[in-house]
Amino acid sequence: MIIGLTGSIASGKSTVAEMLKGYGLPIVDADVVAREVVEPGTPTLALIAEAFGPEVIATDGTMDRAKVGALIFHDTAKRKQLNDIIHPAIRAEMLRQREEFVANGAETVIMDIPLLFESKLQHYVEKILVVSVKEDVQLARLMERNNLSRDEALARINSQLPMSVKEKGADAVIYNNLNIEATEKQLQHILQNWNVI
């Protein structure tokens, strides 16, 4: 079974991903893949340098994220150009990793995709597990974790799809409002229901 794990910023998705690792389940992590595809020497990084100029490559051969960020921040055409280079590479590598786990005998693979719904990648998975959180809890966690003002934190939360929309698209929802034990219990119950454990 291919399970898509998603949530919103500061919902506790990473905590649930760690719990899933504790069950020995293989995880394809979109954030990790996004870094891997632009490592020095990759075709994706070469395409970025070709599109944006050699100055976006730092002296150590890595992508200069600050320079790239500055280029695309106010320029939607350049942002689209960057996304058109990076997103297909990320998707191809995620699918490659998923298939490798399956070929090596994994019966369940977790695809940890923060923007699963926003990127319309539901067809990559068979079941969707959403980690949800009440807005006041999310806001407090995000402000504390990232040392943000209320307005900054709200801007980040509002840049993503509302939790209610994600919950509607889920096969199961973990409500991560209480303590870690309550979250663990919900996860265990879902995995048992889906015959994963």
Same domain, 17 and 5: yes
Same domain, 67 and 22: no
Q: Quick check: 2 and 126 in contact, CB under 8 A?
A: yes
Cα distance between residue 46 and residue 51, in whole Å = 9
Mean pLDDT on 146-150: 93
User: Could you list the residue range(s) of the whole structural domain that residue 95 is in?
Assistant: 30-105
Cα distance between residue 153 and residue 196, in whole Å = 35
Same domain, 127 and 194: yes
Task: Give yes or no for residue 52 having a pLDDT over 90.
Answer: yes
Choose the final residue of a domain: 105, 132, 160.
105
Choose the final residue of a domain: 105, 124, 143.
105
CATH number of the domain encompassing residue 13: 3.40.50.300
Q: What is the pLDDT of residues 156-183, one digit of tens each?
A: 898 889 999 999 999 999 999 999 999 9
Choose the final residue of a domain: 73, 105, 137.
105
- Domains contained in the chain, number: 2
Q: Where are the alpha helices (DSSP H) in 3-75?
A: 13-22, 30-36, 43-52, 65-73
Question: 127 - beta bridge partners?
Answer: 3
